[in-house]
Chain A
Amino acid sequence: MRWSVEICLICVVSLVGILGEVEMARADEKISEKERDFFEKKIRPVLVTHCYECHSAEAVARGKLKGMLTVDTREGLRKGGDSGSAVMPGKPNESLLLKALRNDPNVSAMPPKEKLSTAVIADFEAWIATGAADPRDGPAAVVKRGLSIEEGRRFWSFVPPQRVAPPNVRRADWPRDDIDRFVLAKQEEQGMEPLGDTQPHLLLRRLSFDLLGLPPSPEDVAEFVAGWNAANDQPDRQQNWLAQTVDRLLGQRQFGERWGRHWLDVARYADSNGRDRNVYFYHAWRYRDYVIESFHRDKPIDQILREQIAGDLLPYVSPEQRDEQRIATGFLALGAKSFEEIKPEVFRMDVIDEQIELVSRTVLGLSVGCARCHDHKFDPILTADYYALAGIFRSTQTLAGYGPKGIKATAHSHSELQPVGPDAERLGPDGLAYLVKLQEMTLAQNTARSDRYRVVRRVADAKLKLAKPEADKAALEKDIARMEAEIKDWDVKVKAHEQALQTAMDSAPPQPGWAMGVRERESCEDCRIHIRGETTNLGDAVPRGTLQIITLTDKKPVDMKSSGRLELADSLTRRDNPLTARVFVNRVWLHLFGRGIVTTLDDFGVNGARPTHPELLDHLAVRFMDDGWSIKRLVRSIVLSRSYRLAIGESQKDPVKDPDNVFLSRMKPRRLEVEVFRDAIKSVAGTLDLTPPSSEQAFLSKFNPYREDEYRTFQPLFTPASLEQPHRSVYLPVVRGVLPEMFTLFDFASPERPVAQREESIVPAQSLFLMNSSWIVEQSCHAAQRLLNETSLDDSGRVTRIYQCAFSRTPISEELARSLRYLAETESVVTDSKAASPTPEQLRLERWTSFCQALFASGEFRMLK
């Protein structure tokens, strides 16, 4: 059956070939009689018999095409498929077709099931060597791919943002900012109108949580409301008052902590590797602090991006600036790596893959990862683009040294870090040599320990055998005695290793500070296409560069001496880059409205959502760049808009036409993220320390990297509960797989990969945590004690006070009465029969504790109105 189809194919194709001859005069290639003869006799039949089934127009039509390669036209063969050109006339040894026929180990052997005879292969070699004359004109079958680069350039997100004049609106007195004109115009188109403004106390609460991640103090609320009311419906005065307040909030360090954390979500920040060897990243905190500090200082976002990708290559004027820029590159080094991977080349390409995906997702809002194996199915991203980027990262050394952990040496365990601090240059080299020595010594110690353990196991086995009746007792006992002596020898050796390590640590040379990051490799190189992503199946090398779709004009070839990271960073932050600013302002919009203008936060490609307000998105992007990529100016203009201050949909007057609030005619309640939730509870309870931890207080510094006996399990030694500390949540260690309990329960951004928008789950495990955990009880008890210590207040005053602290408002009379009724009853506590029964004071504290706990657990505390 198959045979007869092929015969038919030969006939059809031969016919086409003959017809083709008629057209030859017009073809690009002149072909001699002799050449055609050779092709028709020696080449075409082989192609038809062995290749067309998977590589022809017919195969395309039947969905059988493999590797995006067609060989039934000259164009198809020359253009090639996923792996690049199949035939390079005159260069047989560089032609993939010949390599495949020869079963070269670097490419997929073809035909897949049988190697062709040496005679046939010699024919192909001769044919290619003499110019691969091919009479088969006509276009190759159109293989359906994603958007071409040309089509892509017309797709909305690849067209650079345009300056758009704000539209006219009917309610001309409503807008406070151009943003409002864009928003209102859409509503008017829909026949909708905005809900009223929210109450001033709720507006300040919203601002305080959004900008700082903390509740406002009752005094702040009182002051703001008084100022607002004093402006007494005079829009300009109110606007001024609001602007003053916003500027005060923007100036606080907590802004950097709040907005830095948003960036850490997409940067998949973590203090440990996760995955198969969850070693600590002892020095990751420097990157975290860099991010917080940069957002606090309003460093331009384009500069932050450049520093994170190529900080080590940027000029500096002071050692501090040099350090800061070096630390920024920690961004590229923080990924989760498969240290168990035993093939170094696979490991290397996996690290590169993670970096490519990181940069493309976080900066461009595109996923490039699938191009590792094939051209993107939807977006104008080619495999060649992927490997152009891969060359850049392949020419980059990732400094993800986790310090000597004493784990067994593999191709990838290393102590690579970069020195920072005033003495970085002076102490760096010796410091690194010392780290390497410690790692070697730790490894030797641990190897001795496992060798000793092996004998211990053998003794145990022998003893088991000894218990059996058929055992050769004498021989076994002799063995055991010998092995026990051996263990004693090992004891001495292990002890010696331990002491040597101790001595080395006691006599440590002065150390510089260490940071993760990247640097240039000594030799930079382009990356060859890995066919189907396989490290053993290499195609053509692709010159280093960025995605073609964002490379607009004056594409500068990468200087072969450098990796190309600097050029990449520049191309990502150029004004005419269509994506970077849009993606960033869209995320800011999400954090302030609970919904992106493009709802697929990290997919701005063909499969992603289209913007609900495309002109607004462009307006924000252009304005953001005009304002020097200032995050603070961007946030300021949004929160001063009328749209931001709308009430939540609590009024039933306006029937809800738009359940998802696409048109922003009101504000939807937003749930506090876990860090904000935790910080808010601690803030009300009076247990929050707003000062950042010093580097000595950095949680992981309590663990000695050279001592921990984790090499056996590769797992952290502490429990989630032991991670608690009085500082803000952004400073809690993010140990992959061992997050603080509350983080796991309340949808913290998974640090395994970039997260642009967090999940929002409601599960009983959260309720159980808020009902029963010792943590919540402890915080509630602190809050209760704090209230009871306010001796100038009576119970009504105390209830009012906690409502002000927790909800930024006073209780209405029913709430006050209900609260007092609750507090008047005796707490029904579990009592230990042996313990003394609780005193009335204790029971009163218990009752206030459970009252405060109920407030913390309530929806009002967690949902931002």
Chain B
Amino acid sequence: MDKFKTLSRRQLLQTVSAGFGYVAFAGLAAEAAAREAGGPLTSKAPHFAARAKRIIFLCMRGGPSHVETFDEKPQLLADHGKPGKSPNSKLLGSRWKFRRHGESGLSIVELLPETGRHADKLCVLRGMHTDNENHPQALEQLHTGSFQFVRPSLGAWTLYGLGTENQNLPGFISINPLSALGGLRYYSNAFLPAAYSATLLGDANRPVKNPTVGNLANKRLTTAGQRQQLDLLQAMNRELADQTSDPRVEGLIESYELGFRMQDAMPKVMDISTETKETLAMYGAAGGPTETFGRQCLLARRFAEAGVRFIEITHTEWDHHGFLTSGMTNNCQQIDRPIAGLLTDLEQRGMLHDTLVIWGGEFGRTPDDPTTDGRGHNNKGYSMWLAGGGTRGGFAYGATDDHGYEAIEGKVHIHDLHATLLHLLGLDHEQLTYRHGGRDFRLTDVHGRVVTEIVG
């Protein structure tokens, strides 16, 4: 490595592009290049010792029912059928029993038996609340802290704070992202540098089995042929750089090299055919109702392992105004094994202690409904959970009232959640600011309390 320090980035690229052994050098060259250039994605030290190095966010779009997943409400069951607070509604108890799991005895709905086996790793936040009860706004606030203005996503802030660990891959990847309902804003860099926006894999609106990054493969040229073409191109660019001494030309040269490396690195990371049968089975990725989410969770683990800082997976659709019974049954089945597989796998690979897994939707659901098989939106009280990354396992923090209408204890607002997530990443949410349009912006705006109680 030392000998590379004596080479300038330019020399290095020239060596590399001279054509001999560029593949072997690519990784080293990339790291050296990033360090020297101090580019926006260079790995940066946190403000203080971090508990988590990366995040995997399992986003349950639609707002899963908390009273039928992680917030058991015996009183709601007892009062089943009595008038509810919403107009013309009746209270609806959970259709499913809850089971106590692990040493902690954390209570989890019977629809999630495999997740239940990891109860002692889960830190359930039962006092979540957010400001808006419409999907688009609540999703936007979940991701960016704001629903009125276009603001950078949590993933973008994370990259801004920490950079990323693999210069051959994007630092923020969103799998099965939402493009509907204003979705792309959930993953945007907004005013932060563009390098912090998410690389999108697939589209929740047009699902395909094996989503990929756009234009990653050259269908026409062999790798050697493309390298020749790139050498010609880069020679022209270097002449331009010499003529103009414009840093943007340097940036251009680098971005071609990163693109070239990504062509190689991304498909390798995304190729799950190298995984064993046992691993595929563990995630439920080999087939059946768990296949899609299972593959996505496996992909997330592979990205995490390769050094990607922030990975999000969206699972739809949890907006159960009707068909609650079948909807919850199917959805829970689809996610249960993949989540259990992900937690097991991360643990086995010694990654769980510094990988923070987040599960939750944009809000929860009402304990009552005018129908008998549906629930409305509830932003005043709902549950999310965290696992790994320095959180306290086998622990439930906060509570809603007896029926689950509102958070009453250990309330955690989205701003508090964001402050806490940044804290676990070693970032002070009040210090992580970006100057734009004449003022300093924060993910948490002027709010946010670090929920120290949930730190393990």
Contacts and interface: CB of A to CB of B under 8 A. Distances in A.
B45 interface: no
Contacts of A764: 170, 255, 258-259, 262
Question: Which of B182, B251, B260, B262: most chain A Cβ within 10 A?
Answer: B182
Task: For chain A, give the interface size range.
Answer: 35 or more
A825 B205 CA distance: 45
A528 B255 CA distance: 53
Interface string B194-229: 110101000001100000011111111110111011
Contacts of A276: 134-136, 181-182
Interface string A725-748: 000000000000110010000010
Interface in A553-577: none
Given A464-B326, A715-B179, A851-B232, A768 B214 contact: yes
A850 B260 CA distance: 16
A650 B243 contact: yes
A492 interface: no
Contacts of A762: 194, 248, 251-252, 255
Interface stretch (A42-50, A160-168, A614-622, A853-861): A853-861
A653 interface: no
Nearest to B180: A715
Interface in B299-318: none
A686 B231 CA distance: 26
B350 interface: no
A818 B232 contact: yes
Interface in A687-741: 713-715, 719, 737-738, 741
A785 to B, nearest CB: 15
B411 to A, nearest CB: 18
B225 A829 contact: yes
Interface SS of chain A: loop
Given A763-B194, A766-B255, A649 B437 contact: no
A648 B244 contact: yes
Listed residue (A719, A753, A767, A825) with the most chain B CB atoms within 10 angstroms of its CB? A767
A863 to B, nearest CB: 7
A859 B215 CA distance: 20
B177 to A, nearest CB: 12
Given A715-B179, A759-B194, A762-B252, A275 B240 contact: no
A863 B150 contact: no
A838 B450 CA distance: 64
B244 A846 contact: no
Contacts of A791: none
A752 interface: yes
A9 interface: no
Contacts of A649: 244-245
A188 interface: no
B240 A863 contact: yes
A28 B4 CA distance: 83
Contact of A457 (B205, B216, B323, B438): B323
B222 A828 contact: yes
Nearest to A862: B252
A771 to B, nearest CB: 6
Given A714-B180, A863-B249, A850 B221 contact: yes
Given A737-B183, A829-B220, A859 B236 contact: yes
Interface in A618-675: 648-650, 652, 656, 668-669, 671
A865 B240 CA distance: 10
B230 interface: yes
Contacts of A274: 182
B193 interface: yes
B181 A863 contact: no
B184 interface: yes
A479 interface: no
Nearest to B261: A764
Interface stretch (A221-229, A324-332, A600-608): A600-608
Interface string B133-156: 011100000000000001000000
A49 to B, nearest CB: 29
Nearest to A739: B184
B240 A771 contact: no
A348 to B, nearest CB: 16
B214 A737 contact: no
A859 B249 contact: yes
A715 B179 CA distance: 9
A174 interface: no
A338 interface: yes
A40 interface: no
A316 interface: no
Interface string A253-292: 0000000000000000000001110100000000000000
B25 interface: no
A546 to B, nearest CB: 24
A822 interface: yes
A753 to B, nearest CB: 7
Contacts of A741: 214
A761 interface: yes
A92 to B, nearest CB: 35
B263 A669 contact: no
B249 A772 contact: no
B317 to A, nearest CB: 11
A569 to B, nearest CB: 27
A857 B240 contact: no
Given A830-B221, A858-B233, A858-B240, A737 B194 contact: no
Contacts of B193: 761
B246 interface: yes
A93 B246 CA distance: 68
Contact of B323 (A461, A650, A773, A851): A461
A522 interface: no
A667 B98 CA distance: 70
B237 interface: yes
A608 B438 CA distance: 7
Contacts of A854: 229, 232-233, 236
Nearest to A855: B236
A827 B214 contact: no
B221 A829 contact: yes
A714, A765, A855, most chain B CB atoms within 10 A: A765
B229 to A, nearest CB: 5
A777 interface: yes
Contacts of B228: 822, 825, 828
Contact of A828 (B219, B224, B255, B262): B224
A814 to B, nearest CB: 9
Contacts of B195: 761, 763
A320 interface: no
Contacts of A777: 220
A860 B236 contact: yes
A241 interface: no
A652 B439 CA distance: 36
A452 B341 CA distance: 39
B219 A830 contact: yes
B325 interface: yes
Contacts of A177: none
A830 B184 contact: no
B7 interface: no
A838 to B, nearest CB: 11
Contact of B240 (A713, A750, A830, A860): A860
15 contacts: A276-B181, A342-B134, A457-B323, A607-B438, A649-B244, A719-B206, A764-B259, A768-B215, A769-B214, A854-B233, A857-B233, A858-B233, A858-B236, A859-B240, A863-B246
Interface of A: 274-276, 278, 338, 340-342, 454, 457, 460-461, 464, 600, 603, 607-608, 648-650, 652, 656, 668-669, 671, 713-715, 719, 737-738, 741, 747, 750, 752-753, 759-769, 771-774, 777, 818, 822, 825, 827-830, 846, 850-851, 853-855, 857-860, 863, 865
Given A649-B244, A829-B225, 4 more contacts: A762-B252, A771-B260, A822-B232, A828-B222
Question: Which 5 A/B pairs are nearest by Cβ-Cβ distance?
Answer: A761-B194, A828-B225, A767-B259, A607-B438, A764-B259
